[in-house]
Every structure is written in C-alpha cells, then in structure tokens.
Structure 1
Amino acid sequence: MPTTDLAVFPLSTVVFPGGILPLRIFEPRYLDMVSHCMKNATDFVICAAQPAASEDGFAEPRDIGTRVSIIDFDRLDDGQLGITVRGTERVAIADTHQTGNGQWWATATPWPEAEDGPCPIEFAVLKQVAAAMIKDSGQSYEAQASDYDSASWLSARLTELLPFDAATKHELLAIDDPKERLCRIRPMIDIENSGGRAG
C-alpha cells in the first residue's frame, strides 16, 4: 500500500472516516501545521495521544489514526483559529519523528477495516444513543450522510462522541471489524441508568 509522510496531531479523542471534528488551534506548532496543509492542499493525521515519555516532553502519537482534510476554518471570538476537519481514511502510523518546534510527522499507510454490514438487532438501542448524542453535540453530522443501519458508521460515531478516554478510543479505532467494535462498546454504556453515557 502507498505511504505518505504527513503531520500528526495527537489528541484525547479520535475521528473516523466520514467523521466531523471541530478543533481550536493555538499552539505555534499546530498553527504551522494548518498553514502548511492549507498552502499545500494536503491532509494531516489525527490519532489518540499517549502520555509523554518525560514530564517536560510532548504527548506522543499512537500507531493507528485517521487521515483528515480541512473543510472549514474561521477566526473564533477569542482570536484563536478554529478549523473543522473530516476523516477520510484510517491509517497505520510508523516512523514517527519530531521537527524542531515539536510537531510530529510520520509515514501514514492506508489501513482499511473489514467489510461493513448491517447493525445487528441486539445493538438497535445504540442507534437511539447515537442519534441523541449527535443532536446534543451541535456538530454538523445532521448535514452529512448518515446510516444508522451500518455497523461501521454507527460504531464510528459512538466512538467519537462517547466520553471514553484516549486509550479506549484508540483501541476501538484499531478494531478492524465494525461489529466487533459494537460488541466492545455495548457493555460500556449503561443505557437505562445514564441515558447513554459511558459507564
């Protein structure tokens, strides 16, 4: 598979192909990254961060992420830069390295997941959870194509929106089979007692 050298943005969350993620950009290294991407019409990679190796070090990338494209940008009320990205493909991250300003770069190789399929009937209640969270999030998913009957689409949106920690989100992103991802998510949600919050 072809590899591409791309900037990497480690975060406390993940985004899947088709997912929408608004970001507030204020660190100089990430302002440089956005400038580079916009000037060169290129993408970058978002992945879940793992703790820095030292107290004064930078959070480090994990080995699976998602290639994203900038689809919108704006100057926020506080003067900081706001951008919105859309996930395009899942990628394996290797050969990570930092530039002088602390920006991570890596080779990104496409990492397709297993074939999609219909959401099994035992996970039907998760459709309601996803719909409620999308409505509450205020993000522009409702303007995008949605497919609550798709195991891949549903498991992706739940992973993005549920308040799991970075390590859990990474584990879910790294699962190749979307039905297996739903199997992992379902026990972590107490539907009846928490209204769909991760438990």
Structure 2
Amino acid sequence: MNPNFSICVYCGSRPGAEPAYAEAAREVGHWIGQHGGQLVYGGGRNGLMGVVAQATLAAGGRVVGVIPQALVDKEMANRDCSELHVVQTMHERKRLMAERADAFVALPGGIGTFEELFEVWTWQQLGYHDKPLGLLNVAGYYDGLMAFLTSAVKQGFMSDWQMGMLKVANQATTLLPDLVQAAGFSPKARLDSI
C-alpha cells in the first residue's frame, strides 16, 4: 500500500508520568493508520515512540523508523517497522525524517523532542521547508512552554507570525486533520478500517 501522506512524530522514549500521554500516542498512531498514512519517527521501541509505532501498524499504516547505530547497539530499535533505516549520526536521522515527512507533530517528550521540534520550526521560519508543524498539548504538558513562548514574543525575541506557524491542539483528532490538509492532502478513512 502506498501511503496517502507521511507524518513525522516526535515524542518521548519514555512513557511519562500520566497515562494520558500513552493514550494520545495510541490515538495518533491509530489515526495515521486508519487514514492510510505513514508514520515517520525515530525508530525506537520504548516509551511513547513504541506506542505510536505499534498503534500505526495495528491500524494498517506504514511505519518508517530512522535510528542511529549507537541506539541500535543498545537494543532500542523497533524491528517491527515497515522500513528501518540505520544511520550514523543524529544529524542524518533528523534530515532523513524531515525529508520523508509531509507534516510534523510533537507529542510529550524530553530534550530530544524539544530539540527536534525547535529545529524543524527554525527551518520553516528560515524557508528551508513549508511543511506544517503541530504541537499536541496532551493534559496540559506544554502549557508552561506556551507561556514561555508567549513571553518571548512580548519581550521582542519572537514575532506573532513565528508563533502562527505552530498549530497547537489538545486532541489528536483535531490537530492531525489540520496538519494533513495544510500539507495538501485529504485525510480519508481507509475502507477496510471502517
């Protein structure tokens, strides 16, 4: 099956403290698979990364994992991926993930998730890509970040147009269709998933 669209998901390699985080990762994966999409992600099997990948596969979607050799050596790779690309550096990982995606979404996560989100956001504001970018604010996880970003605008270090690039929602079923449509695709449920 050729995917209708590809969504790059950034999220934690840990499950986090709230059950809502894993539930949101399941919803994201299920939605991608149900709508004939393809997940592009960091290739891990642990935490939210593993949850979103398994949910995508279970719903009939394709999963493209991109993981550095150093993490494969630590036995963190998800061998269930439709495609698993092993690269040498984090730079290669992020480049390939960005190339394979039509849109980006960040779920709860840690330093790596933050860095990936801010990098593709920076690339977008510099004109290196025009792919839509979203933040899934599960259970208020990103409330503090949003307050900080609003302060950065007030302090003159960011502009409203930069904030406008980032679509923020609390529900996957609201955010994902917006991102896919902004990328120029029509998210339609697969007939065999109904």
Greater helix share, 1 or 2?
Answer: 2
Alignment TM class, shorter chain as reference = under 0.3
TM-score when normalising by structure 1: 0.27
TM-score when normalising by structure 2: 0.28
